[in-house]
Amino acid sequence: MSCFYYLLTEEEQKWDQVIEPSELESSTTLVRDWILNILRFFFHPAKLKFGLLKNTKEYRQKNMPRRNQEESHPDLFGNNADLIINNLLTAFREQNLYETERLIQRLSREHSSHSRLFGFQQLLEAQKKLKTPVEDIQHDLNELRDTIRPLALKWLGLGAQSYLAPLWQRLAQALKGQCFNPLNPKLHRSFVCGEASDWVGVHEAVENESDWHQHPTLALRLAKALYFLNELETATEIWFYLFWQFSAEATAAIESEENPNLALRERWRVFEDMEEEMNPVNFPAWMLLTDWKLLHYSFNKNLQVLSALGKNYHAIHQFLLLKQDNAKNPQDVELELRKALKQTDEKLLKWYLKTK
């Protein structure tokens, strides 16, 4: 025990002053002090201090055998490719080009045959183009639409949109001033702005085409943009115009998953399921008869004047307003309403009379 004596303070050294039994005056004192001597032996400060010392960081560093760093920090994943890829996906989502390039280089160095490596390199090369001007707009558009976009959606998940948006915006900038060509409808700013969810950009790009109402593709893009911009009345007006002028395109588009207006899609399904089959061009007038809140919609673009069906819709709208306002001559109003319905379609008039 003396080898640890130097570790003790003056107060702790007093524990070595063992009481001699001969000095005790009574048996009670004898028993008590023998117990103290035993406690001193087992709980000597030197023993306690050395035991605590062995658990300190300094002691372990000086006296414990050192192990190989790889042994003391084993790779819990066995293969760190997954860890690299997880960090890489985060870098792509955060638009961190430096970190993305560093991690792809590491993946290429450590796992050169990884199945995702080539795809990640393509995503990186596309991202690098953000710093360069567009030289071949058609090539870049095809590459982004057919290659980069599917890769991003497959591997980046919910972060794909934040990765793709700047790439689409780069093309949108390059397409400023490009006139719409119905033979190549995607090579237009309204298309790439829509892919980037830039609905203001879509609205501006379509409105810049003076004859946009002659192209159902542009009209559909404008209706979608107005829906997301919460201009539902004008979006509905454009849908009605499409049914009057381009009923085949409108029928296909309203049933498509690309149509975000679920309420309008549901009303179309009700119209389609009626016993009396009607011409799709009558869908707007049927909507007006079944949903009277349309009476108070403000159709700012005045598209109904561009077709005979639109003019009939306007007449039905006016007579329904008079009927709702309890006109002084309700019978005359009702008669004029029926005439307008018959002029639109006799089937529509029969349906109206049956539901009265």
Condensed to tens digits (0 to 9), the pLDDT of residues 23-44 reads: 445 556 666 666 766 666 555 5
Q: What pLDDT, on a 0 to 100 scale, did the predictor assign at position 72?
A: 34
DSSP letter for each residue of 175-192:
TTTPPP-TTSTTSSHHHH
Q: Do 245 and 331 lie in a common domain?
A: yes
- Separation of alpha carbons 35 and 12, rounded Å: 18
Q: Do 247 and 333 fall within a single domain?
A: yes
Higher-confidence residue of 236 and 314: namely 236
Is residue 3 included in any domain, yes or no? no
Structural contact between residues 166 and 130, judged by C-beta atoms closer than 8 angstroms? yes
Structural domain contains residue 184 = no
Q: What is the pLDDT of residues 251-263, one digit of tens each?
A: 999 999 899 999 9
| 5 domain-assigned | no
CB 164, CB 148: distance < 8 Å: yes
Please give the model's pTM, rounded to 2 decimal places. Answer: 0.71
Tally of domains in the chain: 2
Residues 82-95 have pLDDT tens digits of 888 888 888 888 88
Q: Are residues 254 and 347 in the same domain?
A: yes
Structure-token match 């069906």, residue found: 309
Read off the pLDDT of residues 43-101 as tens digits, 9 standing for 90 and up. 555 554 445 444 554 545 555 444 433 333 434 444 588 888 888 888 888 888 888 88
pLDDT at 39: 63
Give the model's pLDDT for residue 74.
37
Summary mean pLDDT of the chain: 81
Range of the domain at 94: 80-110+118-130+139-174
Asked if the structure places residue 148 within a domain, the reply is yes
Which residue in 299, 184, 182, 323 sits closest to 244, CA to CA? 299
Cβ–Cβ < 8 Å for 167, 175: no
Flag the least confident range among 14-28, 203-217, 296-310: 14-28
Contact 24, 33 (CB under 8 A): yes
Residue in the structure block whose two tokens are 């207006």: 261
pLDDT for the residue 305: 62
* Residue range 287-300, pLDDT digits in tens: 999 988 888 887 77
Mean pLDDT computed over 235-239: 93
For residues 19 and 37, is the Cβ–Cβ distance under 8 A?
A: yes
pLDDT at 336: 87
